[in-house]
Amino acid sequence: MPLKFEYGIKFEIDRIKNTLDKLEWYKKKGYKPLLSILTNNSTLNIESVVRKEYRRIDYQKKLVEIKEEYNFIKKEFEKKIKKKFVLSKFPVIKVILTKYGVGGSYFLPNIVIINIEGNQIKKPIIEVLKHEIIHLFAEKEVINKKLTHREKELLIKEIESKI
């Protein structure tokens, strides 16, 4: 499946704003978003802090790692995804790399966000990437079954165990 990787200051600013908007929801669900920006600034100007913290080389290094790992598992992973979700072809998946927020997120129809900073979820980045990609393909089933967040995550874990 074609993956198109992106990163940049604008993505980071948007990620922080979206995370702050959902902060209470994340806390209720037991997530601990990475937001160093909050601990460093009580009155924050998100854009100026992101510009100060942003180091393009960090994203470039992680991108190389992720691509190498994905190429190693790609053939088998795609074969199993095609079989499980009865796909004839794959859409291009846009993968946004970030240093903020939770470990990973997804947005229909084809966007995945992966946190490359630290490892607050104790899971290799490639596993987070696979998890979020599975979310994209399983979302139709989640909606049809009207699953809660917890039930949705259990479904994704079940699918992961088979893939």
Tens-digit pLDDT profile for residues 62-118: 999 999 999 999 999 999 999 999 888 889 999 999 998 888 999 999 999 999 986
Confidence grade of residue 140 (pLDDT, cut at 50, 70, 90): very high
pLDDT for 27 equals 82
Q: How many domains does the chain have?
A: 1
Owner of token pair 């997804």:
106
The boundaries of the domain holding residue 108 are 3-162
Taking CA atoms, 140 is separated from 65, 98, 132, 148, 161, in Å, by 31, 26, 14, 14, 19
pLDDT score, position 110: 95
Strand boundaries in the chain, DSSP class E: 3-6, 93-98, 104-107, 111-115
Enter the pTM of the model: 0.86
pLDDT at 88 (0 to 100): 80
